[in-house]
C-alpha cells in the first residue's frame, strides 16, 4: 500500500513540472507578454519599459527566467501584483476561506443528497421517484448557473425579501456566523443544484451496475435482509467510482465557482480569477493556475489512493 502511494507521488512530480512550464510559457505567449500592462500603454516610453524589463529579469533567456520563477514558487515568493504590489500568495490565500465555506457546503450537500437520490433511483428503477429524479437532474444540468442564480436572487431577495441578494456579510456584521449562514443559503443552493444533479446521475449508474452483479444475488441467497444486501454489499462496491469522482472534484473546493461567486458577489477564488482576468493581473493568474494545478494533482492522488483503499483489486499492481 505504501509503495503504491509512493509510486503515485513520484509519478506526480514530473506532472507538476510539466504544468508549470506550460503555465510559464503561456504567460509569455499572451499578447504583449508579461509586461502587457505597460507595453500596451501608449503613455509609457520604450526606455522605461526596458528598465522595467531588466529590473524584473525579463531580459534573461527563457529557461533562466523559468528557473528563477520556479525557485521563487518553491520558496513561497510568488511575486507581487501589478496593481498594488502586494504579494500574490497573500492575495490568493486571503480568498481561500470564503471559497472553502461556499464550496464545502455545496459539495457536502451534493454528495449526501446526490448519492441518496441516485441510490434510491437505482433500487427503484423506473418508479415515479426515479422518473422525477432523472427529469429533475436533466433540468438542473440544462439551464445555466447564472440563470438559476439570477432567478433565485429575483424571487428570494427582490420579491420575497427573505434573503440577501449577495455578499458574504452585511456591512458591519463581518464575522457574525448567523449572518454568514443567511448569506450562504442562496449561493449554496444554486451551486448545489448542479452538483446534486451530477452526483445523482453518477451514483445511480454506479449502483445500477452493482446491483445486477452476481455477488448481490449470492448475498440474497445467503438470506441477508435487503437492507444489508444494499448497504453492506452493494454500497461499498458502488462507492468505488464515486470516490474517484470525489477526488476529481476536490480541487473545486479551492478553485471556486466562477459564475456563482460573480452573481452573488461572493469574495472567493472564483471572483478573484474573473477580476484578475479583466485587469490582466498576470502574476495573480499565474499563481492561481499553479495553485489549482497543484490541487488537481493532489485531488487525483487522493482519488487514486481512495480507490485503492476501497477496492483491494486495484492494489495488485
Q: Which residues bind another protein (CB under 8 A)?
A: 7, 10-11, 126, 212-215, 217-226, 228, 233, 236-237, 240, 310-313, 316-317
d(CA 12, CA 8): 6
* Residue where the block lists cell 442562496: 186
Q: Please report the DSSP string for 80-123 in residue order.
A: B-TTT--BHHHHHHTTHHHHHHHHHHHHHHHHHHHHHHHHHHHH
Residue 14 vs 172, nearer CB to another protein: 14
Closest approach of another protein to the CB of residue 1, in Å: 13
d(CA 42, CA 25): 25
Closest approach of another protein to the CB of residue 232, in Å: 8
Beta strands in the chain (DSSP E): none
> Residues near 16 by Cβ (< 8 Å), separated by ≥ 6?
293, 294, 297
Residue 32 vs 236, nearer CB to another protein: 236
Residue 219 vs 285, nearer CB to another protein: 219
Return the bridge partners of 80, or none: 87
d(CA 104, CA 71): 32
Closest approach of another protein to the CB of residue 256, in Å: 34
Residue 179 vs 228, nearer CB to another protein: 228
Closest approach of another protein to the CB of residue 88, in Å: 34
Residue 96 vs 310, nearer CB to another protein: 310
Closest approach of another protein to the CB of residue 174, in Å: 47
Amino acid at each position: 500500500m505504501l509503495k503504491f502511494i509512493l509510486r503515485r507521488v513520484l509519478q506526480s512530480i514530473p506532472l507538476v513540472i510539466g504544468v508549470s512550464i506550460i503555465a510559464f510559457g503561456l504567460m509569455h505567449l499572451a499578447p504583449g507578454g508579461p509586461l502587457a500592462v505597460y507595453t500596451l500603454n501608449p503613455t509609457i516610453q520604450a526606455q522605461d519599459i526596458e528598465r522595467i524589463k531588466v529590473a524584473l529579469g525579463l531580459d534573461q533567456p527563457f529557461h533562466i527566467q523559468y528557473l528563477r520563477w520556479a525557485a521563487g514558487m518553491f520558496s513561497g515568493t510568488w511575486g507581487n501584483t501589478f496593481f498594488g504590489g502586494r504579494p500574490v500568495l497573500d492575495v490568493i490565500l486571503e480568498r481561500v476561506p470564503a471559497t472553502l465555506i461556499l464550496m464545502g457546503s455545496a459539495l457536502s450537500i451534493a454528495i449526501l443528497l446526490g448519492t441518496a437520490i441516485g441510490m434510491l433511483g437505482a433500487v427503484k428503477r423506473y418508479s415515479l421517484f426515479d422518473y422525477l429524479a432523472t427529469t429533475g437532474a436533466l433540468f438542473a444540468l440544462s439551464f445555466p448557473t447564472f440563470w438559476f442564480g439570477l432567478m433565485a436572487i429575483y424571487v428570494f431577495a427582490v420579491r420575497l425579501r427573505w434573503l440577501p441578494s449577495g455578499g458574504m456579510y452585511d456591512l458591519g456584521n463581518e464575522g457574525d456566523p448567523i449572518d454568514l449562514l443567511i448569506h450562504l443559503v442562496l449561493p449554496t443552493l444554486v451551486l448545489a443544484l448542479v452538483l446534486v444533479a451530477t452526483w445523482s446521475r453518477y451514483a445511480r449508474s454506479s449502483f445500477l451496475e452493482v446491483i445486477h452483479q452476481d455477488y448481490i444475488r449470492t448475498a440474497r441467497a445467503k438470506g441477508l435482509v435487503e437492507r444489508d444486501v444494499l448497504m453492506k454489499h452493494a454500497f461499498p462496491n458502488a462507492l468505488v467510482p464515486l470516490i474517484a469522482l470525489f477526488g476529481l472534484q476536490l480541487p473545486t473546493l479551492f478553485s471556486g465557482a466562477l459564475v456563482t461567486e460573480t452573481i452573488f458577489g461572493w469574495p472567493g477564488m472564483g471572483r478573484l480569477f474573473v477580476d484578475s482576468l479583466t485587469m490582466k493581473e498576470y502574476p495573480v493568474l499565474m499563481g492561481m493556475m499553479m495553485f489549482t494545478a497543484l490541487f488537481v494533482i493532489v485531488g487525483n492522488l487522493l482519488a487514486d489512493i481512495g480507490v485503492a483503499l476501497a477496492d483491494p483489486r486495484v492494489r495488485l499492481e
